[in-house]
Every structure is written in C-alpha cells, then in structure tokens.
Structure 1
C-alpha cells in the first residue's frame, strides 16, 4: 500500500511520512479510500447510474455493512476504465485497503468510516448533479457551494483534529472546539482553491461550482474574486491551525497544503478568471517543502513564509 500511496498522493506523500505513526496509518488509509471513491464518482466512461450504485455499494463495504465480494466485479470494470496507471492500481487493490481497515484500532476505524461517509455524500451529490456531461449544470447558490466544500474537504479537518487529540492529548495550544472550526475552514479553503483552479476542466466536463445566482447578477470576474477572497480567508485559518500545533513534525505535515494553497491563490489572482488551469510546478513545490521544513520549528517563521507565498507574483 505504501507504493500505491506514493504514486497517487504525490505532494501529500512528501509530508505524510513525517506524521507520527499513530496518525500516519489512519490518515494514509483514509486518503486512499477517499481517492478511490473519488475515482468511482469521476469515471466518465461509465454511466452515471452505474457510478452512483457502485459508489454507494463500496461505501457500504467501508462501513462494514457489505462484504467486499459484492462489489469486486464492478470494481474490476472500473479499474479497466482507468487511463492513469496509479489510479488503476489503486482500484485493483481496494481489497487490501478494506483488509487494512479491518486491522485498524476500533476508534481509528470508526473515525475513518465516519469521514468517508461524509465525503461520499458530497461525491454522490456530484454524480447526481453533473452525471450528464452533455450540458453545463452549475450550482445554484452559495449555500450549495458551502455544503459541497464541507462534505468533500471540510470534514477532513474534523477527522484530522479528532485523531490528533485522541492520540496526542497535547496536540494543540488551542482547545479542540477551536481547532475543529479552524480545521473545517482549512479543508473548505483548499477545496475552494480546487474549484477556482479547475474551472475550465470542470466546465468541459459539464460541471460548474460558482453559484449561478451570483453569476446572474455580477460579472464573472467579480464572482471569481469574491470566492478567491473567501479561499484566502479559509486558508489563513488553516495557517492558524498549523501554527497552533505543538509537535513540529505534525505541524510540518499539516502545513504544506496551506503553503501550496497560498502560492496557488497568488497565481490565480494574477491570472484572473479567464486563465487556463493554474498549477504550482513540481520543482517549486519541492522548494516550498524545503522552506516549510526549516520554518516548521517556529510558528512565526511559518507565518512569514505563508505571507511571502501569498504575495509573490
């Protein structure tokens, strides 16, 4: 599973290795399962109805309500449709992920099941809303976008925080309720960046996440700028989250998405809403990683690095 995680997680894998083992194991497995369910939801060569029923069935397998054999044939069909070798390998090895889940400590297993249940709710909504790629179907309201970002990403902040406080009582300088709120904002901010960064590809696939009600009354650039500002606010909450962590290894493993997110926001702001997909180059990601490794010893140094990345053009 380590090699599969390395091949599909990329930047995330660079830092997850630094997590203490009590966090590294459940976080790694939750990532693989969420990546797999995302693949099931997004395999456009398979009809939406089949994607939905397979996603729901596999969610029941994760929840312990259904045996893996009940979905094995369907998963083989999905694996055959994957053009990306790491994604195909992941789907082909989901029986190993379920076996790994069974070996987890009961509390960790329960947390993984809970967060995957929430994530799959968001993925199911995506399939129902955007199952027909023939025409663009945007979300209607800001509330729908807020719901979506919580379901597929904000809940991960809750999961991370719950794991952290259970395994490390001195996990953070702030109390658990404050860290949970910051963690939710952090996850939602990361997903908003994905929404803004991937708008072109999503439109080509018949998806639109910026609210139709706002686009009907304001210029696209204004709506884009408004949500980019919200993404920055939430990513800044993520920086607060990371700065509050007491263990430098956990701080380092947690902060890299915020730093890459800050750099992505700067690129999106400079490029504007009409730009093609924005992505931080892999070489720059590695430079950010090295800078984060040095800065993670000091929360103030992390804040300074975050601000530099947010401002850089």
Structure 2
C-alpha cells in the first residue's frame, strides 16, 4: 500500500514503533523529520536482516543494495528486495512497500541532515551485516569471541545512533546542552549501547534457541560453561549475564547525565522515555530466576503510562529526574560519567 510522503513520519512510523513514535512526537518539530526518517530506514534494514526464511546470502545482498540506495538515492534492486523480503508485521510490510518514498524523502532533506542519516545507516547496516556473517546459517550456537566484539556490535547498531541523535540536535538546536559536542557525543554513544545491551540481556534465552550468543565465549568458559549447553540451561551463564547487566546499568547512567545536560524540555522528555524503561527492564532482569523463565521479560503497561508522567516532570526538574532514577533502580542518582572539569572546559 503506497502512502503519501507526508504520512511517512506519522501513521507509518506509529505502525512500526508506537513507543518510539511517541518519543518523536515529544521532540521539537524541526528534529522530527531527520530522526523519524532515520528510524524508518533503520527499521527497514532490520526487517531485511531478520527475515529468517530468506537465505543468508540473499539477505546480505539485499542489505548491500539497500545501503547503496541510501547512499546514492537510486532505487536499483528495490523490486527484487520487495519480492524476496516478507514479514508478518503489517507495519513493516507497509514500510517495505514504501521504501522508494522513504528514499525520495531522504533526498529532500537538508544536506547536513541527509549526510548524518547516510552516515548512521552505513554503520547500522555494517553491524547487521556482521551479525549475519557471524551467526547466519549455523546449526549450533555460535558465540562472540571477545568483549570487544560485543562492544563493537552495540556501537554499530545503537551507539552510533546516540551520536547521530546528538549531532542532529546540536545542528538544529545549538546550545541545547550544557555540554560540548565531544562530551555529549560520548554520553550519547554509551546511552545507545546501553539500550541495545538491555535488548541483548532480555532476549538471551530466545537468541540461544536461534543459535546466537552475544556473550563472549571465553567469559562463558571461565564461568564453567559453553554456548551450546546454555540452550537447555541458560542459568549457567548467570555470572557472565550479571557482568553485562552491570555494564548496561553503567551505560544507562551515562544516559542520566545526557538527559540532565539538556536545556530543551521537549528534548529531555523524548530522551527520558527509552532511558527510564530501559532501567526498569534491567531491574526486572536482575530478579532471581530470570534466566529460567520461558516468557520474555517486559515492563507493565502501567509502568509505561507512569513513564510519560515522569518524563514530563523530569523535563522541567532535575529533582524529578533524580527521583525517577531512584524509582527505576532503587538507588540514588549515579555519579557523573563526565567530570565537571571536562564539561566546563568543553565549548557548548
């Protein structure tokens, strides 16, 4: 179903991610188009990469073709992509049918916004390509081989998004943060990586069943286990799981500092929602017996509703932001990731 270009960032965006759509609606108006379009393109590449019924080689080919479309503005290979890639998600199906309009919309943006989107999608697709090359097509559980590989992956698919978000915000809203670009970009990258690590922790048992283990194999062996036995006994990975959960908490602590530095109430509220829900998810993931559960850990709908109330309060109040952190974690606000000395020395 073809839809009008002006509706791509409205109904279509809402159909593929209602939570992110709400964050987009909280943003200052001038930021909605570049950030919303970047999300749609990233969601499309994710749909391509996750189409398990399509052979790995074909998915890699379509990802490369999609990257060329984004880079050049030409839609060569789009018909083949739309023919091969199918998804049960109605919103994603509509998105795939409207990729030509998304590419056309990209060409209509300001040069600086277009360049930022091309750059971040290049990194995301590189991360998705690495993921397919490492895990695709196997009949046993494959694990990453080092912490560096996991850090690289979380950066490529999410940390770079924090950097993109930061640059776009500063391009359109100079002075929107009390921190300079270098410090804010560092915090944004850590914040994005933390959100992705939350997903990895939450999806750990399911990923094992699909032959994927994002925890480094040397760490698992040091804990007395290995990837394949974890399918039937994921709790054997508990020491490694706890280590990376602590890493995710530290990264979302960077998100606290990121949000606290923002001067725009709308921007603070938009950044607050995924951060708060990520912290609440991490708290649930820390409960005993989590790895033995057969269902996916999710925050309640009531928690999501209250998150919007807390977001509005935290948009205007540092005290409310600190209270929200305590509410989410059970602890007092985190220590700064960026020191006062470095932040005061950085140019706004």
TM-score normalised by structure 2 residue count: 0.86
Aligned to 1:74: 81
Aligned to 1:266: 283
> What SS does the aligned partner of 2:139 have?
coil
Alignment of 1:173-192 (within 5 A): 173-192=178-197
RMSD: 1.4
> What SS does the aligned partner of 1:174 have?
coil
Query: What is the CA deviation profile of residues 189-223 of structure 1, one whole-angstrom value per residue up to 9, with x for unaligned ones?
Result: 00110000001121121111011110000151111
**Equivalents in 2 of 1:196, 1:275: separation in Å?**
13
| Alpha-carbon contact 2:141-2:212 (below 8 Å) kept | yes
**Equivalents in 2 of 1:245, 1:232: separation in Å?**
20
> What SS does the aligned partner of 1:46 have?
coil
Number of aligned residues: 309
**Equivalents in 2 of 1:133, 1:253: separation in Å?**
39
Matched, 1:52 2:52: no
Aligned to 2:233: none
Name structure 2 gaps, 5 residues minimum: 1-7, 225-236, 332-348
**Equivalents in 1 of 2:310, 2:80: separation in Å?**
46
> What SS does the aligned partner of 1:273 have?
helix
* C-alpha displacement of 1:67: 2.1
Query: What is the CA deviation profile of residues 5-60 of structure 1, one whole-angstrom value per residue up to 9, with x for unaligned ones?
Result: 00111211112101112211100000000011011011000000000000011111
| Alpha-carbon contact 1:157-1:184 (below 8 Å) kept | yes
> What SS does the aligned partner of 2:299 have?
coil
Matched, 1:102 2:119: no
| Alpha-carbon contact 1:11-1:285 (below 8 Å) kept | no
Matched, 1:36 2:9: no
Partner residue of 1:224 out of 207, 221, 241: 241
Alignment of 1:288-299 (within 5 A): 288-299=307-318
| Alpha-carbon contact 2:273-2:308 (below 8 Å) kept | yes
Matched, 1:15 2:23: yes
> What SS does the aligned partner of 1:210 have?
coil
**Equivalents in 2 of 1:136, 1:294: separation in Å?**
45
**Equivalents in 1 of 2:77, 2:52: separation in Å?**
22
| Alpha-carbon contact 1:76-1:91 (below 8 Å) kept | no
Partner residue of 2:162 out of 149, 157, 161: 157
**Equivalents in 2 of 1:310, 1:76: separation in Å?**
46
**Equivalents in 2 of 1:133, 1:290: separation in Å?**
45
Query: What is the CA deviation profile of residues 206-249 of structure 1, one whole-angstrom value per residue up to 9, with x for unaligned ones?
Result: 11101111000015111111100000000010011011000010
**Equivalents in 1 of 2:55, 2:302: separation in Å?**
38
**Equivalents in 2 of 1:179, 1:279: separation in Å?**
29
**Equivalents in 2 of 1:166, 1:72: separation in Å?**
35
Alignment of 1:105-184 (within 5 A): 105-184=110-189
| Alpha-carbon contact 1:224-1:273 (below 8 Å) kept | no
Aligned to 1:305: 324
> What SS does the aligned partner of 1:68 have?
coil
* C-alpha displacement of 1:133: 4.7
**Equivalents in 1 of 2:35, 2:178: separation in Å?**
21
**Equivalents in 1 of 2:50, 2:162: separation in Å?**
23
